[in-house]
Structure 1
Amino acid sequence: MIAEMNGIAAHAGSPFTPGYGRAPLVFGGHEDELDELTRVFQTLDFGENHSVLISGLRGAGKTSMLMMLQDAARREGWLVISDDASAGLMDRVMETTIPAMLDTLEPATRTRLSSLGIWQINAQLEYVDRHRQTKPLLRRDLIALSEHIGPDAGILITIDEVSSGKIRLRELSRFALEVSHALQAGANVMIVFAGIKIDLDALLEQEHTTFLRRSRQLDFRRLTPGETRHVLDESIRIGGRRIEHDALNQLISVSQGYPYLIQLAGDYAWRNNPRSAVIDQAAADVAHEKAITAVQRRVISRVYQDLSEKDREFVQAMAQDSGRSKISDIVKRMDVSAQYVQVYKKRLIDTGYVRSDGHGYVAFSLPYLGEYIRSMNDEPAAVDDGWDAFPPPPSV
């Protein structure tokens, strides 16, 4: 919503969305893939898009992509099942999500569905319970829903936060098996899994996930400088303000193409003086300091804590260099074999935190991870908090 404030067009709030689970106002990168996937909701011409795997480091825009797909599917009349890969996924979908979905369908569709003997629906055409004459199976639900919502719509299933824990992977494998049976029966279903690449790879190694190995795969990394500029500039324009050229360049440099940091830096710059028509250099300076501190505290510190001991040794060896690191130097610093280092190099590349940077070199792909590791070795500066003038009295 745009409102007039002090003679300028002002957004009702910040157009940036650094909070978790909020789709960005302007989506950067992967526009072609987004367009292709959303066309499926209009045409039902799936091609390779019955199953999609979205990988990428934390904050790279995977959840935002899922939300964009969900909104596009609903606009075309599709049913949407959205959840994460936490324990109890199958029960939540079958016992909560689908029953709630039934109550949103047209009365004629609910009547047809009730005649199948899968769900109990009362005289008011509201879901009551699941029939138990046959074993409840997700595949039955998906096939029935797909057949009775009509030929011009389908079912989108999005599963976020895929984890490589053994118990979670077993449940996801069973879930995938049920979806594959529904697809084989002709159900119009698109399923999208999102997570870190190393976790998605672990899912593909499970039983019953053969059809997922043929999935469309999208890898979310950093945006280009041009894409970053577009997201920042266009979000500010839609919000009803403009930004000085040098201030915009500074926000681009600060964010380093990392989607979460783009939203965070843009939000800090916007809120610095929200009543001004122009975001100036002073606002960009404030955003610079606040955004880096916040991303290191909220994301990078947690990423580092999640790494294994040997992964940490690898990135600590990398952090001794201000730019890219030579693999042979990492071998010397870790005092291990080159073959050993290659194992952890691959693991870290698969997490998205490290990337190859020319033959024999690696670099951090998560901005400010190297700086965070180096800062842990810095001695904290002494802080005068005023209490030196008030020493504690001796105990009585």
Structure 2
Amino acid sequence: MQPSPYTPGEVAREIPGRAVQLAQMEERLAYLIDLQRLVGRIRVDVAARGIGKTSLLREVQRRAEARGALTVWVTAGEDMGLIPALAAEIHRKTHDWKADTRARLRELLEHLTVSLGVPGIARVEATWAAGAAAGGVREFEEVVRETAASARDEGRSGVVLFIDEIQSADADGLRTLGYAWQHLQSEGSDVPAAVFAAGLPNSPEVIANVVTFSERFAYRPLERLPPDAAMIALGGAARALGVEWDSAALAEAVATAQGYPYTLQLIGDATWAAAGYPDAGARLTIEHLQQGSVAMSADLNALFRARWEKATAGEQAFIRAMAALGDGLVRRADVARVMGVTSDELSVPRARLIDKGLIDVAGRGELQFTIPGFAEFVRSYTDGSTAIPQD
């Protein structure tokens, strides 16, 4: 008996199908570490939930640490503003550095948090609240400089900031981050530092609303996995434990997942359980896949139901119209036709559904649900009405 190697809803340790993204980010790490230079553009990988943004970001963090960099990870939108969160994490990650190094950095961190309207780094979590005083651009810039210099004194190769869920960051924090990075770049600074971020598809719009120079951010869409990568993800995880997938079962599993990493992990986990948590030498068959599909469907339906219930009445009408048009790509004009409204009237619910990660733009004038199977769920869960109720 072996535990399942599949991890639905967790950060994946293996991320097949992301070789291009990893190569790009490795090149930026090499620029930072080998040349000791500032990576001037803030990279933001954008995708709907369940596509693997956080897993990609964590893999880059592991690679940065393997090359000797100090890494600072925050998830935006939690209990404090973006800049106080970064300050608190820098403080935590450097607490065991040499006393003189730590003292210089701590002084700048204290100055930064006070400039943000927060009375000191030691109390930052308890005292920050949304709407705190804007500012701290130069102070944050100095913290980045000193953190990089101190890291070098401690034998580190550079500093890499990681920001997950960047679309949830406070406006003041995004503004401070953006302007500080602009200053560092425009001043020709040889500060070995970089920022890698991840967020939902509305991240560019959120950032553009508060930072006027969007060219400082490099947005990179993260797509679903191609079939070969999905096969590697499923087959490789089992093979590492001495278990093989039958080719027919593997092909069916990949077709069902449609490149969506979360669904892929659900399928693998449910199939593994149906096979009795197999020992090395066993095979996963089409029968195991079919038996596991019952548990997988229950998990997916719970996810679908939660997402459906978070939508407003107007958004649900939009979703019903999309579902009525089929399981694949749908044209915005066709959604409007089904609902009996103009295309312009769809702008608000469409934008809200993209922000919530329920749909995404698949091409010019085309939309799709972010999770395979959602359209079928909606058709079976609702009465098929497509009129727009008032929110």
Q: TM-score range by the shorter chain?
A: 0.7 to 0.9
AA paired with 1:100? R
Cα distance in structure 2, aligned partners of 1:29 and 1:364: 21
Q: CA deviation at 1:145?
A: 1.4
- Residue in structure 1 matched with residue 278 of structure 2 by the alignment: 275
Q: Which structure 2 residues correspond to residues 312-331 of structure 1 after superposition, within 5 A?
A: 312-323=316-327, 324-331=329-336
- Residue in structure 1 matched with residue 22 of structure 2 by the alignment: 34
Q: CA deviation at 1:361?
A: 5.3
- Residue in structure 2 matched with residue 93 of structure 1 by the alignment: 86
CA contact (8 A) 1:42 1:76 kept: no
Matched, 1:375 2:380: yes
- The structure with the largest helix share of the pair is 2
Cα distance in structure 2, aligned partners of 1:37 and 1:219: 14
Q: CA deviation at 1:378?
A: 6.0
CA contact (8 A) 2:141 2:180 kept: yes
CA contact (8 A) 1:241 1:279 kept: yes
AA paired with 2:55? S
CA contact (8 A) 1:37 1:49 kept: no
AA paired with 2:343? A
Q: Which structure 2 residues correspond to residues 36-185 of structure 1 after superposition, within 5 A?
A: 36-44=24-32, 50-86=41-77, 87-89=79-81, 90-94=83-87, 96-105=88-97, 107=98, 110-114=99-103, 118=107, 137-150=139-152, 153-163=157-167, 168-183=170-185, 184=187, 185=189
Q: CA deviation at 1:246?
A: 1.3
- Residue in structure 2 matched with residue 341 of structure 1 by the alignment: 346
Q: 1:62 to 1:357 in 2, by over 3 A?
A: closer
Q: 1:338 to 1:115 in 2, by over 3 A?
A: closer
Q: 1:336 to 1:187 in 2, by over 3 A?
A: same
Cα distance in structure 2, aligned partners of 1:114 and 1:358: 52
Cα distance in structure 2, aligned partners of 1:164 and 1:98: 20
Cα distance in structure 2, aligned partners of 1:64 and 1:98: 22
Q: CA deviation at 1:174?
A: 2.7
CA contact (8 A) 2:76 2:168 kept: no
Does the residue aligned with 2:7 lie in a helix, a strand or coil?
A: coil
Please say which structure displays the higher CA radius of gyration.
1
Report sequence identity in percent: 22
Q: 1:212 to 1:101 in 2, by over 3 A?
A: farther
Unaligned runs of 5+ in 1: 6-10, 121-128, 380-396
Pick aligned residue for 1:253 from 255, 270, 274: 255
Stretch of structure 1 that moved more, 83-92 or 238-247: 83-92
CA contact (8 A) 1:254 1:292 kept: no
CA shift digits 1:281-322 (9 cap, x unpaired): 222113322223212313x33333344443322221111133
Q: CA deviation at 1:196?
A: 1.0
CA contact (8 A) 2:46 2:221 kept: yes
CA contact (8 A) 2:164 2:198 kept: yes
AA paired with 2:74? D
Cα distance in structure 1, aligned partners of 2:353 and 2:319: 9
Q: CA deviation at 1:59?
A: 0.7
Q: 1:43 to 1:162 in 2, by over 3 A?
A: closer
Cα distance in structure 2, aligned partners of 1:359 and 1:76: 41
AA paired with 1:296? N
Stretch of structure 1 that moved more, 252-261 or 45-54: 45-54
Cα distance in structure 1, aligned partners of 2:8 and 2:54: 12
Unaligned runs of 5+ in 2: 110-119, 123-135, 385-391
CA contact (8 A) 1:55 1:62 kept: yes
Q: 1:321 to 1:211 in 2, by over 3 A?
A: closer
Matched, 1:291 2:278: no
CA shift digits 1:135-171 (9 cap, x unpaired): 8933222111112322972211111123458xx2333
* Aligned-residue CA RMSD (Å): 3.3
Pick aligned residue for 1:301 from 302, 305, 325: 305
Matched, 1:14 2:19: no
- Residue in structure 2 matched with residue 389 of structure 1 by the alignment: none
Q: 1:130 to 1:312 in 2, by over 3 A?
A: closer
CA shift digits 1:337-361 (9 cap, x unpaired): 1332366556656766445677765
Q: Which structure 2 residues correspond to residues 174-253 of structure 1 after superposition, within 5 A?
A: 174-183=176-185, 184=187, 185-206=189-210, 209-210=211-212, 212-253=214-255
Does the residue aligned with 2:196 lie in a helix, a strand or coil?
A: strand
AA paired with 1:318? M
Q: CA deviation at 1:79?
A: 0.9
Q: 1:155 to 1:50 in 2, by over 3 A?
A: farther
Q: 1:130 to 1:193 in 2, by over 3 A?
A: closer
